[in-house]
C-alpha cells in the first residue's frame, strides 16, 4: 500500500466524518429550536421514543451524535433518564441505515446529492432550504468519502500480511476488541462499519470474522457519549452506562448465537453474492433484536445505571461554582443551542432563589439586625456576583452556537434578566446595610414602620415569585399579574412616603435619622418592582413573541 493510498484513505475518512457533521448541523438548523417540544411529546411512549431515536439517527447517520444530544438533554433537565433509554435504543437501530445504504451502492449518486445540497446552500436565500441543503450536501460528501476509502483500500487484498491479520478476527475476543478500539478512536460506528463493509467487499475479511468486529464496533461507539459526559451531572453519566450496557448485552447474546447456531450462514443466505449487504443485515439484526429483547426491561436498565452510579446529594453551600452549566464537548451537537438555553435558565432560576432569600432576610434585618445573618446575606451576594459574571460569559459563548436570530434573541434576553436579578440583589444588600446602620446607632424602627416594612417584604417576594420561572406556559396572564403587582408597589411607595412625611411633621426621637434611612429604603423597594417588570418583559419576548 503506497503513501498515496494511505493519504486517500485518510482523506476519505475525513470526508465521511465531515459529511456527518454537515448533516448534524443541518438538522440542528432545521429542527433544533423545536427539538425539545418534539422529544417531550414523543418520548412519553417507549415505542414512539424508539422510533424518534431511530429517525433522528437515520437522518444524521450517527448514533454517537444522537447519544451525545441525549446526554446533554438529560444533563440540562430537558429529558428524564427513562425517556433517554428509548431514544438510545432507537439510535442503535437508526445508525444501521448507513450500512444499508452502502450495501445498496447509494454512493453512485452521491455526487449528484452533494451538488443539489450545495446549490440549496449557495443559491437559495431561504433558511429552511439552506438547512435541507446542508443535510443533502453532508449526505453526498459522506458517501463520496466512503467511495474514496474503498478505492484506497483495494490494493490491500494483495498484501499477505494484512490478509492474514484479517483472518485472525474469526477469534471472537480479538474481533470484538479490534472493532471496539477502532470505533472508539474514530468515534463513529457508521464510519467503522462502512470501512468493514469495504474490506469485506474487497475480499479481505469473511463474514464469520467480520461479525465479531461488527459487535465490537457497537461497543466502541459508546466512547463518544462517555467523553461527552465528562463534567456533567450523575444523571447524564447514567445515560452513558445505559448506552454501554445495551451494546455489551447485545454483543454477549449475538456472540453466543454466532458460536452455537448457524446464524452467520442464515444471514449470509439472504444475499449470497453481496458480503457488504450481509454485514449491513447483521448490523440491523443485531440492533433490532437487542432492542426488542431489552424494550420490556428499560426501567431495569435505568435502575442498573442508578445502582452503578448513584446520584450524590446536591451541594447546599454557597461555594462559588456553577451547578447546571456544563458546555457540550462537541463542536456541534444536535440540540446544542437548546441545551445551552436550558442550562442557562436553570442557573438563572438558581440566581432567582438566592435573590429571594436575600430579599427576605434583608427586610428582616431592618427590624431585628443579626450579624451572623448579615454574613450569610453577603456570602449570597458574592455568589450572585460570581454567577452574574459566569452566566454572562457563558451566554456570550453560547451565542456562537445559536443557529438563527430567534435563538440569539433568547440568549440576549436571558442576559438582560441576569442583570436585573443582580441589581435586585444589590437592593437587598442596601437593606442589610440600613439595618446595620440603625443597629449601630441603636435606633429601632417604630412599630408603624415595621408594619410597612413587612408589607414591602411580602409584596417584593410576591412579584419575585411571579417571575421566578421563565418557562411558564401561561405567561400572558403572569405578565398581567406582574404589572398589577408592580403598580401596587408604586402605590405603596407613594403612600408610605406620605405617611413618613406626616410622622416627621409630628417630630419625635430619632425622627430625622429614621426618615433618611426610610427614604432610601423606599427608593430601593420601588426599584425592585421595576426590575421584576423588566424580567417579565424580556421573558415574554423570549418565548412568546
Task: Print pLDDT tens along the chain (545 aa).
Answer: 578 878 887 888 788 778 877 876 776 666 555 555 666 555 567 888 898 888 888 877 677 777 877 887 787 676 788 888 998 999 889 888 878 887 877 767 889 999 999 999 999 888 888 888 988 898 888 778 877 876 776 676 666 766 676 667 778 999 999 889 888 887 777 778 888 888 888 777 888 888 999 999 999 888 877 877 776 778 888 999 999 999 999 999 999 999 999 999 999 999 888 888 999 999 999 999 999 999 999 889 999 999 998 876 544 456 778 888 876 544 445 567 777 888 888 899 999 999 999 999 999 999 999 999 999 999 999 999 999 999 999 988 878 766 667 778 888 889 999 999 999 999 999 999 999 998 988 888 888 889 999 999 999 999 999 888 766 656 778 888 999 999 999 999 999 999 888 888 776 555 677 888 889 999 999 999 999 999 988 887 665 44
Task: Tell me, yes or no, whether 274 and 411 share the same domain.
Answer: no
Report yes or no on 504 lying in a domain: yes
Task: Tell me, yes or no, whether 340 and 299 share the same domain.
Answer: no
Task: Tell me, yes or no, whether 304 and 403 share the same domain.
Answer: no
CA 365 – CA 383 distance, rounded (Å): 20
Question: Alpha-carbon Rg of the chain, whole angstroms?
Answer: 31
Domain end residue (candidates: 292, 308, 324): 308
Measure Cα distances from 510 to 452, 513, 520 in Å: 18, 5, 16
Task: Tell me, yes or no, whether 44 and 191 share the same domain.
Answer: yes
CA 481 – CA 464 distance, rounded (Å): 11
Q: Interior CA angle at 392 toward 390 and 394, to 5°?
A: 70
Report yes or no on 462 lying in a domain: yes
Task: Tell me, yes or no, whether 296 and 373 share the same domain.
Answer: no
Helix 172-186 × helix 207-220 angle, to 10°? 50
Report yes or no on 318 lying in a domain: no
Task: Tell me, yes or no, whether 135 and 197 share the same domain.
Answer: yes
Measure Cα distances from 499 to 281, 448, 457, 458, 504 in Å: 84, 10, 18, 19, 9
Q: Looking at residue 361, which CATH number applies to its domain?
A: 1.20.58.220
Find all residues with CB under 8 Å of 61, minimum gap 6, and list them. 19, 20, 23, 95, 97, 98, 139, 142, 190
- Number of domains within the chain: 2
Output the nine-digit C-alpha cell for 476.
400572558
Report yes or no on 329 lying in a domain: no
Report yes or no on 144 lying in a domain: yes
Phi then psi for residue 318, to 5 deg, are -110, 30
E strand or H helix at 522, and its extent?
helix 511-544
Report yes or no on 317 lying in a domain: no
E strand or H helix at 205, and its extent?
none
Q: Which of 31, 51, 33 is CA-nearest to residue 42?
A: 51
CB 9 within 8 A of CB 152: yes
Task: Tell me, yes or no, whether 302 and 380 share the same domain.
Answer: no
Task: Tell me, yes or no, whether 444 and 504 share the same domain.
Answer: yes
Task: Tell me, yes or no, whether 387 and 294 share the same domain.
Answer: no
Find all residues with CB under 8 Å of 46, minimum gap 6, and list them. 85, 86, 295, 298
Other Cβ atoms within 10 Å of 489 Cβ, number:
23
Q: Which of 8, 258, 31 is CA-nearest to residue 127?
A: 31
User: Which structural domain, as residue segments, surrounds residue 229?
Assistant: 3-308
Task: Tell me, yes or no, whether 389 and 265 share the same domain.
Answer: no
CA 235 – CA 513 distance, rounded (Å): 55
Measure Cα distances from 78 to 39, 227, 390 in Å: 9, 20, 22
Report yes or no on 13 lying in a domain: yes
Task: Tell me, yes or no, whether 280 and 218 share the same domain.
Answer: yes
Task: Tell me, yes or no, whether 347 and 209 share the same domain.
Answer: no
Report yes or no on 324 lying in a domain: no
CA 117 – CA 142 distance, rounded (Å): 12
Helix 3-31 × helix 46-60 angle, to 10°? 130
Rounded to two decimals, the pTM is 0.65
CA 176 – CA 183 distance, rounded (Å): 11
Amino acid at each position: 500500500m503506497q503513501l498515496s493510498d494511505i493519504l486517500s484513505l485518510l482523506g476519505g475518512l475525513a470526508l465521511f466524518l465531515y459529511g456527518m457533521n454537515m448533516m448534524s448541523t443541518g438538522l440542528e438548523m432545521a429542527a433544533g429550536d423545536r427539538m425539545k417540544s418534539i422529544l417531550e411529546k414523543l418520548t412519553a411512549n417507549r415505542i414512539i421514543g424508539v422510533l424518534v431515536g431511530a429517525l433522528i439517527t437515520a437522518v444524521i447517520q450517527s448514533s454517537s451524535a444522537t447519544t451525545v444530544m441525549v446526554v446533554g438533554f438529560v444533563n440540562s433537565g430537558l429529558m428524564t433518564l427513562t425517556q433517554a433509554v428509548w431514544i438510545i435504543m432507537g439510535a442503535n437501530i437508526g445508525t444501521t441505515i448507513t450500512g444499508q445504504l452502502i450495501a445498496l451502492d447509494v454512493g453512485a449518486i452521491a455526487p449528484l446529492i452533494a451538488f443539489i445540497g450545495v446549490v440549496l446552500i449557495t443559491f437559495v436565500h431561504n433558511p429552511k432550504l439552506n438547512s435541507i441543503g446542508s443535510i443533502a450536501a453532508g449526505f453526498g460528501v459522506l458517501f463520496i468519502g466512503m467511495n474514496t476509502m474503498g478505492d484506497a483500500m483495494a490494493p490491500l487484498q494483495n498484501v499477505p500480511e494484512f490478509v492474514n491479520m484479517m483472518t485472525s478476527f474469526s477469534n471472537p475476543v480479538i474481533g470484538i476488541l479490534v472493532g471496539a478500539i477502532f470505533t472508539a478512536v474514530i468515534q463513529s460506528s457508521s464510519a467503522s462499519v462502512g470501512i468493514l463493509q469495504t474490506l469485506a467487499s474487497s475480499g479481505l475479511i469473511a463474514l464469520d470474522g467480520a461479525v465479531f468486529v461488527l459487535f465490537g464496533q457497537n461497543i466502541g461507539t459508546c466512547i463518544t457519549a462517555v467523553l461527552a459526559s465528562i463534567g456533567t451531572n450523575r444523571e447524564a453519566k447514567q445515560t452513558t452506562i445505559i448506552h454501554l450496557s445495551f451494546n455489551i448485552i447485545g454483543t454477549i447474546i449475538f456472540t453466543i448465537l454466532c458460536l452455537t447456531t448457524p446464524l452467520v450462514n442464515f444471514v449470509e443466505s439472504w444475499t449470497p453474492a453481496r458480503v457488504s449487504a450481509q454485514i449491513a443485515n447483521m448490523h440491523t439484526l443485531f440492533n433490532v433484536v437487542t432492542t426488542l429483547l431489552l424494550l420490556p426491561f428499560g426501567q431495569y436498565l435505568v435502575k442498573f445505571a442508578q445502582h452503578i452510579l448513584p446520584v450524590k446529594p446536591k451541594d447546599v453551600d454557597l461555594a462559588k461554582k456553577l451547578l447546571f452549566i456544563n458546555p457540550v464537548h462537541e463542536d456541534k451537537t444536535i440540540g446544542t443551542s437548546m441545551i445551552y438555553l436550558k442550562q442557562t435558565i436553570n442557573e438563572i432560576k438558581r440566581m432567582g432563589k438566592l435573590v429571594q432569600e436575600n430579599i427576605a432576610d434583608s427586610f428582616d434585618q431592618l427590624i431585628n439586625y443579626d450579624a451572623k445573618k448579615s454574613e450569610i446575606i453577603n456570602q449570597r451576594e458574592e455568589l450572585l456576583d460570581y454567577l452574574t459574571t459566569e452566566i454572562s460569559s457563558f451566554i456570550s459563548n453560547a451565542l456562537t452556537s445559536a443557529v438563527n436570530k430567534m435563538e440569539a434573541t433568547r440568549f440576549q434576553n436571558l442576559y438582560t434578566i441576569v442583570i436585573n436579578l443582580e441589581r435586585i440583589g444589590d437592593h437587598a444588600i442596601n437593606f442589610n446595610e440600613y439595618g446595620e446602620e440603625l443597629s449601630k446607632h441603636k435606633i429601632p424602627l417604630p412599630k408603624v414602620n415595621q408594619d410597612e416594612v413587612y408589607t414591602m417584604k411580602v409584596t417584593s417576594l410576591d412579584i419575585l415569585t411571579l417571575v421566578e420561572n421563565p418557562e411558564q406556559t401561561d405567561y400572558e396572564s403572569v405578565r398581567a399579574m406582574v404589572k398589577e403587582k408592580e403598580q401596587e408597589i408604586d402605590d405603596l411607595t407613594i403612600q408610605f412616603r406620605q405617611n413618613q412625611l406626616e410622622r416627621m411633621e409630628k417630630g419625635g426621637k430619632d425622627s430625622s435619622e429614621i426618615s433618611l434611612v426610610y427614604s432610601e429604603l423606599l427608593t430601593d423597594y420601588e426599584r425592585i418592582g421595576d426590575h421584576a417588570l423588566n424580567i417579565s418583559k424580556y421573558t415574554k419576548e423570549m418565548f412568546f413573541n
